Amino acid sequence: MHVHRFDAFDELASWADDWDRLAREVPFRSWTWVTTWWHHYGRAVADRRLFVLGVFDHRGGLVGLAPWCLDGEGRRRGIVRFLGSGEVCSDYLSLLAEPGLEKAVVSTLAHQLLRAGEGATEGGAGLPRWDMLELAGVDSRDVLVDWLAGHLALGGSTVHHRMGPPCRRTELPRNLDVYLQSLSKNSRRKVRRLQRSLFDSGRARLTTVANLAELGPAMDRLIDLHQCRQRMLGRSGCFASPRFEAFHRDVAARMLAIGQLQLHTLWIDDEPAAAEYQFTGDGVIYAYQSGIDPTKLDLQPGHALQLAVIDWAIRNGYRAYDFLRGDESYKSHWNAQRRDSLEIRVIAQNVGAQLRHAAWVAGIEARQWVRRGLSHLKSL
């Protein structure tokens, strides 16, 4: 196997189908997601460049990918991050590898990274020197990233793990009644009450975007509902970022075109009361963002929407509903089980990188010491 570094998506375009095959339908790893992210968050950043590493077999077939970018210049020689990092909050990020060849792909990548981290540039893939891999949004059960970190640690790199924001996922059975039986008695009672008062009475209905003409108005509703609710809570809301909104309007259209977008609106008394924006893949619904009308809280539009979209997912044959990152209490109401995530920092063996990492760790420890001291004072 050998590694080739891609520094432009034009060069990668001929491998787009292989990329999606290796991504295994996880939307945040897909060609559509990462190329749209690069358009909005990559090329506009002055010191950011593409750092995608392709692993090829002896026949020239693409069997692995490290979907990364490289940030930083000057004294900070390079921080490697996943494409999709930052404010878009991509989850379940990973290396991509052909089934059965995962260990060989990871070993090949690790060998080239160790050489580049030490400053070796001759031969091989000719990778630029890097100081740190900062890999966030990684499922704690992801073996590929774990293997890579292990290889790099054996090669002399320093590896630092810390917990990231957890995700929550609930498995979906064959019908809604079976699913409702998995909820607590109290939760089941609340859901049944919502069914009777809103859906059985005909007051509430769910609509789902079916084509591009419906997408724009539905996105407008979602953004308006989300921002109104966040302003009521004294927050700016994620769509206050123009780049974030532009990215999502763009990626929503592209994901709809390939059948991996669902955008639902809950109407109560013929007025939009809540909306949810989802991505799909391999039988899983990934609930990315939602919004509710803060003037209708007495009708519990958030719970009503959740009931409606889970019912929709079951009827359409989905096997799981993933709430993505965040450990909000409402998720456990729907029997969503915790899935931990990791943030992994791998520091190259060169002296400068090691010193900067030592300063970073010292800063974390100092902040923890201050917090413990303040907690002790409050307890006196």
Digitized pLDDT (tens) for each residue of the chain, 380 residues in all: 899 999 899 999 999 999 999 999 999 999 999 999 999 999 878 889 999 999 999 999 999 999 999 998 545 568 999 999 999 999 999 999 999 999 999 999 999 999 886 665 544 467 888 889 999 999 999 999 999 999 999 999 999 999 999 999 999 999 999 999 999 999 999 999 999 999 999 999 999 999 999 999 999 999 999 999 999 999 999 999 999 999 999 999 999 999 999 999 999 999 999 999 999 999 999 999 999 999 999 999 999 999 999 999 999 999 999 999 998 889 989 999 999 999 999 998 765 565 565 555 555 555 656 565 556 455 55
Please check whether the two domains, 2-166+340-349 and 173-318, share a CATH topology. Answer: yes
Nearest to 348 by CA among 35, 55, 79, 147: 79
Q: Do residues 325 and 136 make contact, with C-beta atoms less than 8 angstroms apart?
A: no
Element spanning 72, H or E: none
How open is the CA angle 99-109-48, to the nearest 5 degrees? 115
360 CB-side CA count, 13 A = 13
Please state the separation of Cα 212 from the chain's center in Å.
24
Question: What are the sequence ranges of the domains in the chain?
Answer: 2-166+340-349, 173-318
The alpha carbon dihedral of 281, 104, 354, 4 has a sign of negative
pTM: 0.90
Q: How far apart are CA 128 and CA 119, in angstroms?
A: 8
H or E element at residue 168? strand 158-171
pLDDT in tens, 218-264: 999 999 999 999 999 999 999 999 999 999 999 999 999 999 999 99
Instruction: Describe the strand order of the beta sheet including 284-292 as a list of residue ranges.
Output: 48-50, 68-71, 79-82, 132-139, 337-347, 158-171, 320-325, 284-292, 271-281, 261-268, 204-208
CATH number 3.40.630.30 given to 173-318: yes
**What architecture is domain 2-166+340-349?**
3-Layer(aba) Sandwich (3.40)
Token reading at 362: 């010292």
pLDDT of residue 47: 87
**Type of residue at 104:** A
Q: Is 259 left (phi over 0), alpha (psi -120 to 50) or beta?
A: left
Dump pLDDT digits (tens) for 201-218.
999 999 999 999 999 999
